[in-house]
Amino acid sequence: MNKTLFALTFRLLLFSFLVAAMPVVIAAQNATQLPIADDLQLRLAKIEAKAEARRKELGIPGMSLAIVKDGEIIYMKGFGYRDFENQMPVTVDTQFAIGSATKSFTALSVLMSQDEGKLSLEDNPKKYLPYFKINQPDIDKNIQIRDLLSHSSGLARTDLAALSGKLTREELIKIAGEAKPTAGLRENFQYQNTMYVAAGEVVAKVQNTSWETFVQQRILSPLGMTNSNLTVAEMQRSKDFSFGYAYNPETKATRIVPTRETTPTAPAGSINSSARDMAQWLKFVLSKGEAVGKRLVSEQGFEEWLKPHQNVGGKPFYAFGWFLNDWKGMKVIVHGGNSFGFNSQVAMIPEKHLGFVLLTNVTFSPLRDELTPIIWNGILGPPEAEVPKVGSDELMSKTVNALGSEINLRHINSRVTKFTVDFVNQGLKGSGTSFEKAPNLTANVVTVNAFGKEIATLSDYFDGTNAVKKPSFQAADILKGQDLEDVKLSSNFYYLADWKRNFKDVKVVGIGKVGDEEAYKVVLKSEKASDVTLYVSTKSFLPLKRSNAQTSLIYADYREVDGVILPYKWTLSDQDWGDLVISVKEIKHNVKIDDAVFKP
């Protein structure tokens, strides 16, 4: 099986839209509203200890945390460093990028504009943006502004086009209009940044100003959020801002992440703010839309902002710029943010007048989700699948035989694969070439096109020792630690033929289905690389699917090439990005490939 091509497709989605001051602790003014006031200091101290210990374990260079209860800031502190290299500490006024937590501000700007009679949530976006469209006639005709805010447009993510940095907001919206929807209107929740860009552009149109100006003058300023802004340039002119970082848990290395301009996608995630300023945002939401005794949004608009609009799956719903779930039967409103080098969480339990904001300067940190129940508990209170009888040795042997037999697999020592890529839900196309050479050399190059022009090139290389990702729109990334170990494993030319050597533990853990076909579910664990879950047909014993929490890769159209069986169609489905379909056009074996091909 062409394992390296899987590695390429999986890594394409890694380009996501894609890394010690003194505490301020203020007792609540009204002890009757805060039953735990007597032991509040102790509770906050325990929360702080857990948060700080976990920050250090996760290698987060710096963070700031603010907690609001009953209209007061009861806790606020900075931890670690905003400038890791120069050991400059984080304070409660250090600016961080809040990423997608910006979406609640954009949704509010739409509702404020509706209060003024300048738009209606039931309007089609075309009324204000004539170039707006959805590549499905019924959706295009019936979509409303409310659908932009609730991720119910039918589109999966169309973020890849934004990564090149070469397209304007209008062009990004037009690109989304070329993407094929993956669901009907309001049928499924599908996170969609570009629709928030469109919502921001609608506000700009009806207000006769920029979205940035409206948010700054009509939201941030009235809330006293004077230490917040909407561009990287503005943040970096501040005397107290944080750099963004990435942390490698294997090597314990911390590296700075180059800043990326957020202007083209600003309404989806561009605000920079501090713990102190975001505490004002918490107070505003928990006061039901009032700022210093004055409403910014009508009671009806506020209710619309926080009520469920689209089921996310199971209990969670999405409001307008907020996720809705519950904690011990109480409604929780929450939204996180991920951006290059930053991670945030804004969460509230309105019924208890409680909320917190966490700002960190590292990409994709689990701390935000781990800290949420710690704070709720800290402040407010004290089925296995059927295991099939087939053994792992028997199943893996049958799989290797189904792929052509170990003998035939080892007769091949190199492979060159040409393929096309359809970013189905991105509105983009591409083509590429994959080079593989035994025992473990790989290189992949993909060209991405939009509007008939090349907008990006995605390349990766592994020379047997070093792994490099080299997209055209940012500096090359030399992989280390866990990422490097994953590439080492995936680049083994005889990946499944060498299963006993590659994996320390192989378990058949259940039976499921891939489409209509029954499949064994197999978990493969290696010494250093990430665990692999493989679905193997109970009939043909061919691999049908690989998956993890966010992505799945389905193999189809198996064909015989030089005595081995290989899939000619690969469909990678990602819960955020949608489908990416790779169609193999040509495979050549045992061709001479110079080792220089595997170096950038």
Q: Which residues, 6+ apart, have CB-to-CB distance to 256 below 8 Å?
A: 84, 85, 243, 244, 245, 341
Alpha helices by DSSP H, 186-307: 193-207, 211-215, 232-236, 266-269, 275-286, 299-306
pLDDT at 387: 60
Residue segments in the chain with a per-residue pLDDT below the cut of 50: 1-37, 383-385
Distance CA 399, CA 405 (A): 9
For 130, 225, 306, 508, the CA distances from 289, given in Å and listed in that order, are 32, 15, 11, 53
Helix (H), strand (E) at residue 45: helix 40-57
How high is the pLDDT of residue 382?
A: 72
Q: What is the pTM (predicted TM-score) of this model? A: 0.72
What's the confidence (pLDDT) of residue 2?
A: 46
Domains of the chain: 3-13+387-598 (2.50.20.10), 37-111+205-380 (3.40.710.10)
What pLDDT does 548 receive?
A: 62
